[in-house]
Chain A
Amino acid sequence: MSLSIQYDSSFEGFLSAVFEIYRQHLDVGEFRPDRGDGNLGDGTPGDIFMQPFRIETSEDAANRLHRAILNFASEEVYNLLHAALLSEEPGVEMKILAYLKKLFSGTDPNYGRNPASAEMLPLYKIAQSVRREAGGLLGLVRFAVGPDNVLYAEIEPRFNVLQLMETHFSKRFANEKWLIYDSRRDYGIYHDEFGVQVVNLPGYKSGSMDLKDAFTDLWKEFYDSIAIKERENPKLLRRCLPVRYWNHLPERSVRFAAT
């Protein structure tokens, strides 16, 4: 009977699971990430022909697997696998596992450098979408200045990209206090003079960070006045700036309308 592997949904958790799979020669049927929302995996009922098997996250195991990936491939591949996992796409773990199995088998010494192998190409595509969203969102985060001079922003990304955005904001707003909250996944990152930490705001109501002030209105004024009427192109606009992001953008959202 093959196993349904449960892990804590983090990349370290996944690497720890792979480590155990190798150590104990486990026969894996599927992965069920535990995202802390009461559902396992994508929320579908478990396969009754598989036996649940929980693997705890171990820093040591994750590090060893990290080193193994560096030995057989590269840091680049390691980061790519991480990005692919952040897609949270059902079944992506099995795809990564298939890749790692082939990589570690060592039958093809060049495998780790081949971006076009049957196992790598789909992961490459997934990682690309995830990175594209993370990259695009860097510009779309909208901070509101809170009374305590803390900058607040809410996002609802399709993929779990917050951790990929952390470095950018830590560098750029190195001397500010700020919080970016993923309300879809109910966690955020908070930055102050002590660094970055992950925070949860239980019972957070979406939209409550979208405060506005005089500069929000000036920004909307600016946005409206730069439109060139003769060149309006709603289709192009939607392609560049998908509607699903508009909700938290003062310049596009009705929620920020002047009162």
Chain B
Amino acid sequence: MDIREKLRILSAAAKYDVSCSSSGSNRCTPPGGLGDACSAGICHTWAADGRCVSLLKVLLSNACKYDCAYCANRRSNDIPRATFTPKELIDLTVEFYRRNYIEGLFLSSAVIKNPDYTMELLVKVAKELRTVHRFGGYIHLKAIPGASPRLLTEAGFYADRSSVNIEVPSDKSLQYLAPEKNFASIYAPMNFLAERKLEYGPTARLRGPSFLPAGQSTQMIVGASGESDYQILSLSSGFYNRQKLKRVYYSGYVPINADKRLPVLTTKPPLAREHRLYQADWLMRFYNFRYDEILDEAHPNLDLELDPKIGWALRHPEFFPVDIQHADYEAILRVPGIGVKSAQLIVSGRRFSKLRLEQLKKMGVVLKRAKYFIYHPDTPASLRRLYPEMVRPLLLPRSKSGQLDLFAGSPLALPA
């Protein structure tokens, strides 16, 4: 089989792994070598579905000996199988990198023979890239559950990031859908790598190469099994706090296999839900929201029509309006329509002058949303209260219902 055919099969097989981040690492070009890793991460192109592509994301092999229900590579599927040689992968990575097609390599694999055999091959590719080719670009290596600590440790010294995908958001469903896996087998390598990273952390870095400088990530499939968003977010929150993961990815389930344990093949991927989960995740990582603020037992699922920040705001009218001129940064950050950048601008800009609405707009504040939640000196005292029932319809996307258009433009007397 020629390399082109392999590339086609093994990149198509890897495409459902949504992680493509190349950020969080700071690697300088090795002496006489090729490439560095930029801490901000760079997109090199966008796939037809609008996903950023920054890494050569492929499987080393799709010849899997396991049989996970949700996976195209499971052994019970009758599909063409292919396996790269390490040399082929190294050539592709170096030549793509030189042409500035990619930030680096994202290498994963199905389980060939056994976990150690597979992990050994993955490590070999990374090791040769780093040592023989002095490759300084980004490398993301999958950690294969069940691989020996020795191999995981070695991987950590050559890779910028590692990931073990949990895929299914509860232990029960995971064992049901992936008979060879369970939560413990996923958490074991994750915890092991997290501990090594601590051990070889910033202080040790002076002495040797750094260990997984860009940390770990994982992925959960959404919509293949019955978990609520609340369950999913509480898992994510645990990953961020306990395993110190850098990113959790959510992948709306695309039906690939006809399997009575899974949604039928005609099911559309739950893209809206996936999008809302990313927004909620964003709130946890950058806006200091706790998962149990975003959702709770009484509201176990995200509102598909409104972003979770607005959702929280409407459930907490007592928190608003926020006084832009005096409230602290944390409070300003909670206002829908105000992002991290504009919140920072507001806090540094207001020390020098009173902020006008016009200025807020220029700072990037989306007044269309924010106006219902901020205090403005010109607002009559009687209107300085938030009425969620009145505000909610105004914030809904217009196309959803023609009827709402009637209200959208009318001068409803609300705090502006």
Q: List which A204-254 residues lie within 8 A (CB) of chain B.
A: 215-219, 221-223, 225-228, 230-234, 236-237, 239-241, 249, 251-252
By the criterion CB–CB under 8 Å, are B45 and A231 in contact? no
By the criterion CB–CB under 8 Å, are A114 and B353 in contact? yes
B15 within 8 Å of A by Cβ? yes
By the criterion CB–CB under 8 Å, are A231 and B271 in contact? yes
Q: Please, how many residues of chain B have a CB less than 8 angstroms from a CB on the other chain?
A: 56
A70 within 8 Å of B by Cβ? no
B96 within 8 Å of A by Cβ? yes
* Chain B 22-58 interface mask (CB, 8 Å, partner A; 1/0): 0000001100111110101011111111101110111
Which of B75-83, B98-106, B200-208, B238-246 binds A? B98-106
By the criterion CB–CB under 8 Å, are B49 and A233 in contact? yes
Q: Please, how many residues of chain A have a CB less than 8 angstroms from a CB on the other chain?
A: 55
Q: B34's closest neighbor in chain A, by CB?
A: A175
* Chain B residues whose CB sits within 8 angstroms of the CB of A241 once the complex forms: 45-46
Chain A nearest CB from B187 CB (Å) reads 29
* Chain A residues whose CB sits within 8 angstroms of the CB of B353 once the complex forms: 114, 116-117
| Chain B residues touching A, majority SS | loop
Tell me the complex Cα distance, A113–B271, Å: 43
By the criterion CB–CB under 8 Å, are B99 and A151 in contact? yes
* Chain A residues whose CB sits within 8 angstroms of the CB of B57 once the complex forms: 226
By the criterion CB–CB under 8 Å, are A221 and B4 in contact? yes
A144 within 8 Å of B by Cβ? yes
Chain A nearest CB from B241 CB (Å) reads 31
B349 within 8 Å of A by Cβ? yes
The contact of A219 among B15, B40, B48, B96, by CB within 8 Å, is B96
* Chain B residues whose CB sits within 8 angstroms of the CB of A111 once the complex forms: 352
Tell me the complex Cα distance, A233–B14, Å: 20
* Chain B 196-220 interface mask (CB, 8 Å, partner A; 1/0): 0000000000000000000000000
* Chain B residues whose CB sits within 8 angstroms of the CB of A249 once the complex forms: 45
Tell me the complex Cα distance, A218–B94, Å: 13
By the criterion CB–CB under 8 Å, are A139 and B43 in contact? yes
Which of A28-36, A42-50, A166-174 binds B? A166-174
* Chain A residues whose CB sits within 8 angstroms of the CB of B96 once the complex forms: 215, 218-219
Q: B350's closest neighbor in chain A, by CB?
A: A116
A97 within 8 Å of B by Cβ? no
A14 within 8 Å of B by Cβ? no
A98 within 8 Å of B by Cβ? no
A91 within 8 Å of B by Cβ? no
A94 within 8 Å of B by Cβ? no
Greatest chain A CB density within 10 A among B7, B92, B99 is at: B99
Q: A110's closest neighbor in chain B, by CB?
A: B352
A257 within 8 Å of B by Cβ? no
By the criterion CB–CB under 8 Å, are B352 and A114 in contact? yes
Tell me the complex Cα distance, A202–B22, Å: 38
Tell me the complex Cα distance, A237–B48, Å: 6
By the criterion CB–CB under 8 Å, are B36 and A228 in contact? no
Q: List which A171-193 residues lie within 8 A (CB) of chain B.
A: 171-176
Which of B150-158, B221-229, B355-363 binds A? B355-363
- Are A139 and B42 CB-contacts (below 8 A) given A219-B99, A237-B50? yes
The contact of B345 among A113, A116, A219, by CB within 8 Å, is A116
* Chain B residues whose CB sits within 8 angstroms of the CB of A117 once the complex forms: 352-353
Chain B nearest CB from A29 CB (Å) reads 27
Tell me the complex Cα distance, A175–B3, Å: 28
By the criterion CB–CB under 8 Å, are A172 and B29 in contact? yes
* Chain B residues whose CB sits within 8 angstroms of the CB of A135 once the complex forms: 40, 42
* Chain B residues whose CB sits within 8 angstroms of the CB of A227 once the complex forms: 15, 47-49
- Are A225 and B8 CB-contacts (below 8 A) given A145-B98, A215-B96? yes
Chain B nearest CB from A215 CB (Å) reads 4
A153 within 8 Å of B by Cβ? yes
B259 within 8 Å of A by Cβ? no
Q: A149's closest neighbor in chain B, by CB?
A: B98
Q: List which B4-20 residues lie within 8 A (CB) of chain A.
A: 4, 7-8, 11-12, 14-16
The contact of B45 among A125, A139, A234, by CB within 8 Å, is A139
* Chain B residues whose CB sits within 8 angstroms of the CB of A240 once the complex forms: 43, 46, 50, 52
By the criterion CB–CB under 8 Å, are A153 and B47 in contact? no
- Are A231 and B254 CB-contacts (below 8 A) given A110-B352, A139-B54? yes
By the criterion CB–CB under 8 Å, are A223 and B45 in contact? yes
Q: B363's closest neighbor in chain A, by CB?
A: A116
* Chain B 343-376 interface mask (CB, 8 Å, partner A; 1/0): 0010011111101000100110000000000000
By the criterion CB–CB under 8 Å, are B363 and A173 in contact? no
By the criterion CB–CB under 8 Å, are B352 and A223 in contact? no
By the criterion CB–CB under 8 Å, are B349 and A115 in contact? yes
A143 within 8 Å of B by Cβ? yes
By the criterion CB–CB under 8 Å, are A142 and B348 in contact? no
* Chain B residues whose CB sits within 8 angstroms of the CB of A172 once the complex forms: 29, 35-36, 38
Chain A nearest CB from B126 CB (Å) reads 19
Chain B nearest CB from A196 CB (Å) reads 15
Chain A nearest CB from B37 CB (Å) reads 9
Chain B nearest CB from A170 CB (Å) reads 10
Chain A nearest CB from B347 CB (Å) reads 10
Q: B344's closest neighbor in chain A, by CB?
A: A115
By the criterion CB–CB under 8 Å, are B362 and A138 in contact? no
- Between-chain CB contacts (< 8 Å), 24 pairs: A110-B351, A114-B349, A115-B349, A116-B348, A116-B362, A121-B362, A121-B363, A138-B38, A139-B54, A143-B100, A145-B98, A151-B99, A171-B29, A215-B96, A218-B3, A218-B92, A219-B96, A226-B11, A228-B15, A231-B269, A237-B47, A237-B50, A239-B50, A241-B46
Nearest 7 A-B pairs (CB), nearest first? Answer: A116-B349, A236-B50, A231-B49, A227-B48, A114-B352, A139-B44, A139-B42
Q: Report which A residues bind B (CB closer than 8 A).
A: 108, 110-111, 113-117, 121-122, 125, 135-136, 138-145, 151, 153, 168, 171-176, 215-219, 221-223, 225-228, 230-234, 236-237, 239-241, 249, 251-252
Knowing that A114-B351, A233-B48 are A-B contacts, what are 5 other residue pairs whose CB atoms are under 8 Å apart, sorted by A's residue number? A139-B54, A143-B100, A145-B99, A175-B34, A218-B96
